[in-house]
Amino acid sequence: MKNQRQAKILEIISTKNVETQEQLLAELQEAGFRGTQATISRDIKEMRIVKELTNLGTYRYAVSGNEQTSTFSTRLNTIFKECVVRVDYAQNIIVIHTLPGLASAAGAAIDAMSMRTVVGCLSGDDTVIVVMRDINAAATFCGEIKNLLN
Looking at the fold, whether 48 and 93 belong to one and the same domain comes out as no
Residue 74 in domain: no
Q: Assign residue 13 the CATH number of its domain.
A: 1.10.10.10
Looking at the fold, whether 92 and 55 belong to one and the same domain comes out as no
Nearest to 123 by CA among 138, 137, 141, 103: 103
Q: How confident is the model at residue 145, as a pLDDT?
A: 85
pLDDT tier for residue 105 given thresholds of 50, 70 and 90: confident
> What is d(CA 71, CA 90) in angstroms, rounded to the nearest whole number?
31
Residue 71 in domain: no
Q: What is the pLDDT of residues 41-86, one digit of tens each?
A: 988 888 888 888 877 888 889 887 554 444 556 666 777 788 899 9
Could you list the beta-strand ranges (E) of 1-150: 49-53, 59-63, 84-90, 93-98, 118-123, 127-132
pLDDT tier for residue 134 given thresholds of 50, 70 and 90: very high
37-47 and 67-83 helices, crossing angle to 10°: 110
Instruction: Evaluate whether 87 touches 107 at the Cβ level (below 8 Å).
Output: no
Q: How confident is the model at residue 80, as a pLDDT?
A: 78
Looking at the fold, whether 85 and 58 belong to one and the same domain comes out as no
Residue 72 in domain: no
Q: How confident is the model at residue 70, as a pLDDT?
A: 46
Residue 143: domain span:
81-149
For the chain, the domain total comes to 2
Nearest to 16 by CA among 2, 28, 1, 32: 28
Domain boundary residue, one of 34, 65, 96: 65
Q: Assign residue 125 the CATH number of its domain.
A: 3.30.1360.40
